[in-house]
Amino acid sequence: MARGEVTGRKPVQTADRPKRRRGPPSADPTAIEPMLKDEPDGRVSADATPIRGPPGADASSEKKKKPGEWRKQPQHPAAYSIDEFCAAHRLSPAMYFKLKAAGLGPRTMEVGARTLISVEAAADWRREREAAAVNQGV
């Protein structure tokens, strides 16, 4: 770091970063207990304010649906997007398009502006690739 006399600029001072643990606040009930002041008869005093944990920490709250939750994909899709197909078959998108250009890619279907690969087309593609590997090894 250059000195102000050399550069002609004032040195910049920034505040120290806060020292805290990473991540959300803990919902550990043992961390809350020391903050509550119990009266001798078992009541909690009026000046004790409990600390709330993260949302959903208490068992009484119902699970609320988030906006767009209906869009979550089923566990076994009927059709893959290109990215999902590549992830499921451990291919890079570049390799997928290289295979498609060589005529070795799976059958695709156009649905609006999307390109999808049915599960059946993916299974047929796997069988063709396995058969080609067997024939190539002979």
Q: Which domains does the chain have, with CATH numbers?
A: 76-138 (1.10.1660.10)
Residue written as token pair 């959903």: 56
Residue written as token pair 């699970």: 63
Q: In this prediction, what percent of the chain has a pLDDT beyond 90?
A: 41
Residues 6+ apart with CB under 8 A from 81: 114, 115, 116, 117
Q: Is the pLDDT of residue 113 over 80?
A: yes
Higher pLDDT, 39 or 24: 24
Average pLDDT, the chain: 75
- Interatomic CA distance for residues 11 and 50, integer angstroms: 44
Question: For residue 18, what pLDDT band results from cuts at 50, 70 and 90?
Answer: low
Q: Extract the runs of DSSP E, i.e. beta strands, from the chain.
A: 79-81, 109-111, 114-118
- Interatomic CA distance for residues 104 and 88, integer angstroms: 17
Question: For residue 26, what pLDDT band results from cuts at 50, 70 and 90?
Answer: low
How many other CB atoms are found less than 10 A from the CB of residue 100? 13
Tokens for 11? 């040195």
Q: Is the pLDDT of residue 100 over 60?
A: yes
Q: Which residue in 98, 93, 88 sits closest to 119, CA to CA?
A: 88
Predicted local confidence at residue 6, as pLDDT? 78
DSSP string, 12-48: P--PPPP---SSSPP--HHHHGGGS-B-TTSPBPTT-
Predicted local confidence at residue 111, as pLDDT? 93
If you average pLDDT over residues 74-99, what whole number do you get?
91
